[in-house]
Homo-oligomer: A and B are copies of this chain.
Amino acid sequence: MNIRIGIVGYGNLGRGIECAVKQNPDMTLAAVFTRRPPETVKLLDTATPVYTVADIPQFVGKIDVLILCGGSATDLPKQTPAYAKLFHVVDSFDTHARIPEHFAAVDAAATEGGHVAVISCGWDPGMFSLNRLYAGAILPDGHDYTFWGKGVSQGHSDAIRRIEGVVDAKQYTIPRDEALEAVRNGENPTLTARQKHLRECFVVAADDADKARIENEIKTMPNYFADYDTVVHFISQEELDRDHSGIPHGGMVIRSGKTGQNGEHSHLIEYRLKLDSNPEFTSSVLLAAARAAYRLGQKGERGCKTMFDIPPALLSPLSPEELRATLL
């Protein structure tokens, strides 16, 4: 029988899950849950029923894994523990500093409910984290570097939109070639924020707005832009819609390390993602994690897990024999 998936929250991530389920023949999308009036939510595939989140408890026994597609700021800290009492769950909680407390709350709830919860899936946290772990375990004498981009930062784009006179905006984070090259050469540089990434902004200003003031407000904005070299382009709404409507992202996790009797040999491990759609790729990771959560549950495991705890084979639809014969 297929793994029955439920989606909580139908935004970019939820839509990504809906698409990804169709690529995985061992899974079925059983239901989508929303806080909006269900009749106002239009799925890509209209055959899947949409319910209000209040109906979720009625689906115990009808859904195997619930994928929580809410935000990390306020949704997931409440939703993940609450639903881990009722189902196996997967989330993409990405507030790095609060992961330990989220883990503890979810672990208590999942253990109480007898379920498996996999938190902080996606690519960072997620695949990038995994690659930091593997590379660090292999090369203990080394340095880690994470570069993000080229890609759209939603938080930085939002920050620009809040400036007076800004109609719309999109911000790209771009790794700097000089920094990347130094790391790939094994130079183990110490890099400031400014040396690692460039910030490029495409801004639609109101007709009567003072563009010089807007540009200055962007470039001096503390936390978001002040520590970076920032390039600001003013363009029309048509240009923004035409050229900047995608949500690409990606980046690299690199570890540069040494081995040998006196560290005479250098090694470089690089994991690189180039993603046309940040939310769809994240959804694809969440769905693989849902398969693992289901299988861990079948084995009698309980409590909160991260990608660090999941035997990789459990993420794949292939059997252990197929994996060894074809991928090892």
Binding site for B on A (CB under 8 A): 16, 19-20, 23-24, 44, 96, 99-100, 103, 120, 125, 127, 129-134, 136-141, 184, 250, 259-261, 264-277, 280-281, 283-285, 288, 291, 306-313, 315-318, 320-321, 323-325, 327-328
In the bound complex, do residue A315 and residue B259 qualify as a contact, i.e. CB atoms below 8 Å apart? Answer: no
Q: Are A310 and B308 in contact (CB under 8 A)?
A: no
Question: Are B259's CB and A280's CB within 8 A?
Answer: yes
Q: Which residue of B lies closest to A315 (CB)?
A: B137
Instruction: Give the distance to chain B from A119, nearest Cβ to Cβ, in Å.
Output: 9
Question: Contact: B315 with A309, CB < 8 Å?
Answer: no
Determine if B140 and A260 form an interchain contact, defined as CB atoms under 8 angstroms apart. no
State whether B311 touches A308 (Cβ < 8 A): yes
Q: Quick one: closest B residue to A102, CB to CB?
A: B324
* Given A259-B23, A268-B274, A280-B259, CB of A328 within 8 Å of CB of B120: yes
16 contacts between A and B (CB under 8 A): A129-B328, A130-B134, A133-B312, A136-B327, A138-B284, A139-B284, A259-B277, A259-B281, A265-B275, A268-B273, A270-B272, A270-B273, A270-B274, A272-B272, A308-B313, A309-B312
A129 CB, nearest partner CB in chain B, Å: 5
B327 engages A129 (CB within 8 Å): yes
> Which residues from chain B contact A141 at a C-beta distance below 8 Å?
23
* Chain B neighbourhood of A325, CB < 8 A: 99-100
**Number of copies of chain A assembled together:** 2
How many angstroms from the CA of A44 to the CA of B261 in the assembled complex? 8
* Interface pair A288/B138, CB less than 8 Å apart: yes
Q: Report Cα–Cα, A269/B136, bound state, in Å.
A: 20
How many Å lie between the Cα of A192 and that of B306 in the bound state? 39
Q: Report the minimal beta-carbon distance from A57 to chain B, rounded to whole angstroms.
A: 29
Nearest B residue to A277 via CB reads B265
- With A125-B328, A277-B265 as known contacts, state yes or no: A24 contacts B317, CB within 8 Å: no
Smallest CB gap from A310: residue in B: B311
Residues of B with C-beta under 8 A to A16: 259
State which of B265, B280, B307, B313 has its C-beta within 8 Å of the C-beta of A260: B280
Q: A217 CA to B125 CA in the complex, in Å? A: 52
B261 touches A313 (CB 8 A): no
**Residues of the B chain whose Cβ atoms lie less than 8 Å from the Cβ of A273:** 267-270
Contacts of A312 in B (CB 8 A): 130, 133-134, 137, 307-310, 312
Query: In the complex, what's the smallest C-beta–C-beta distance from A307 to chain B, in angstroms?
Result: 7
Residue on B with the closest CB to A292?
B137
Q: How far is the CB of A91 from chain B (nearest CB, A)?
A: 13
